[in-house]
Amino acid sequence: MTDRDATADPDPRLDPAAMRKRYRVTGLDEDDLADGPMEQFGRWFEEAVEQDLVHEPNAMVVSTADTDGRPSSRTVLMKHYDDQGFVFYTNYGSRKARELDANPHVSLLFPWHPMARQVLVTGIARRTGRDETAAYFRTRPHGSQLGAWASAQSSVIASRAELESSYAELEARYPEGEQVPVPPHWGGFRIAPRTVEFWQGRDNRLHDRLRYTAWPSGGWHVERLSP
């Protein structure tokens, strides 16, 4: 680094401490909430899709922990939601699947930054049934079906060429138009929510945070959290 480089003023655009965004004025009020969190999620999800501001609004960060409590996170695509929770699919040999099998407590985060919104979920994961898994697998593009076989997700491989070679062998075995069997090591997880927080950004960092929490006897109650 030259003396000139050392004394040059830093680019303020690259300084995280100087980054500022003004959040929306419109807030989130208890009177506007749906009776249950999945209905409320549906409202926000529809808005995220219709406003077309969020790239892949079904993308969510899934955080798991192993039996020693060491966490890990990754982004996956939600493929279904209903009153029973949120569903995604994965290789059951992957790190997240192994951790969920050992410790089913999980958190989800939908980061809809362009709308100044987040949805935060905590819940319990369980595997989907094979019929449900097969029904979804049939809707996947042919290449994605082959990819589910080609990738031993989360395992160490020697090179990209090894992965592409595996895919090419499968492509020759199951050409376009031929049915690809559902991998036995691949399937879904459904996250049954225990808490669902709806976070709406507001001016001066006085954000709205409304959280649904499940009653042990059934139903939900709503709490407002301080930002």
For the segment 119-170, what is each residue's pLDDT rounded down to a tens digit? 999 999 999 999 999 999 999 999 999 999 988 888 888 899 998 998 899 9
The owner of tokens 């959290």 is 225
User: Does 216 have pLDDT greater than 50?
Assistant: yes
Q: Are 125 and 191 in contact (CB under 8 A)?
A: yes
Pairing of strands 117-127, 186-200: antiparallel
Residues belonging to the active site: 205
117 to each of 47, 78, 82, 114, how far by Cα in Å?
Answer: 11, 17, 20, 8
Q: Is the dihedral of CA 179, 185, 191, 192 positive or negative?
A: positive
User: Does 55 have pLDDT greater than 80?
Assistant: yes
pLDDT digit string (tens) for 105-120?
999 999 999 999 999 9
User: Does 2 have pLDDT greater than 60?
Assistant: no
- Which among 220, 200, 199 has a CA at the least distance from the CA of 34? 220
pLDDT digit string (tens) for 168-210?
999 999 999 999 999 999 999 999 999 999 999 998 889 999 9
Percent with pLDDT over 90 in the chain: 80
Instruction: Average the pLDDT over each of 31-40, 45-54, 150-159 and give the range with the smallest value.
Output: 150-159
Q: What confidence score (pLDDT) does residue 1 get?
A: 46
